[in-house]
Chains A and B, each alone.
Chain A
Amino acid sequence: DAKTTQPNSMESNEEEPVHLPCNHSTISGTDYIHWYRQLPSQGPEYVIHGLTSNVNNRMASLAIAEDRKSSTLILHRATLRDAAVYYCILAGGYQKVTFGTGTKLQVIP
């Protein structure tokens, strides 16, 4: 299975941008990069996904390295509600999806 590596935890000040990194050096050409986040006491929720090009949606932006071996989830202005565990996962074809332990983001008021 393709694996991802993320820092265990990160901190950000409120209303500042946050860049959450993810390494996936064994990514295959057909793997999409997905990000989910899990708020306290909730199931994970979808954030964004992409293949090669950078992607934007109302929640975040996804920057994908040219060699696709790493990506960065960008929260443009962190709020207290963004405090969560963020998971970077790879999905391609009909395969089991491995979440890993994610990055716990703490937002400081």
Chain B
Amino acid sequence: KAGVTQTPRYLIKTRGQQVTLSCSPISGHRSVSWYQQTPGQGLQFLFEYFSETQRNKGNFPGRFSGRQFSNSRSEMNVSTLELGDSALYLCASSLESTGDTLELFFGEGSRLTVL
């Protein structure tokens, strides 16, 4: 069974540009969530999608957006990049996201560097 796949693994952008990251969940998983990981802030929740609907959103500015397609694949977009957006972006999928069934499977992440 294939795991969670994130692309690209590494990318370098400059301030003001935008970036799109992709996540393919484990087959059959309908919930996809995104996290930002930085050395100082740890793992911070960005948003969660289930069946193409955003169900939860973290405390990030509107420059961070996402979507989920009918095949459960998800993308996140960051517009007008800032230096502080440099981070590892992790995607996780799960069958559901309720308390007992929440078993998150993470991808290896997309490491974004903003120059």
Residues of chain A touching chain B, judged by Cβ–Cβ distance below 8 Å, are 30-32, 34, 36, 42-46, 49, 51, 87, 91-102
Contact = CB atoms under 8 A, between A and B. Distances in A.
Interface residues of B, number: 28
A98 B103 CA distance: 14
Contacts of A43: 4, 90, 92, 106-109
B57 interface: yes
Given A32-B99, A93-B98, A102 B42 contact: yes
Nearest to B40: A101
A96 B106 contact: no
Nearest to A99: B43
Given A44-B90, A91-B102, 11 more contacts: A32-B102, A43-B4, A43-B90, A43-B92, A46-B103, A96-B45, A97-B45, A98-B45, A100-B43, A101-B41, A101-B42
21 contacts: A36-B104, A43-B92, A44-B43, A44-B90, A44-B104, A45-B106, A49-B103, A51-B99, A51-B100, A93-B98, A94-B55, A94-B97, A96-B33, A96-B45, A97-B97, A97-B102, A98-B45, A99-B42, A99-B43, A99-B44, A102-B42
Contacts of A92: 98-99
Interface of B: 4, 33, 35, 41-45, 48, 50, 55-58, 90, 92, 97-100, 102-109
Given A32-B100, A46-B104, A96 B43 contact: no
Given A43-B92, A87-B43, A96-B45, A49 B102 contact: yes
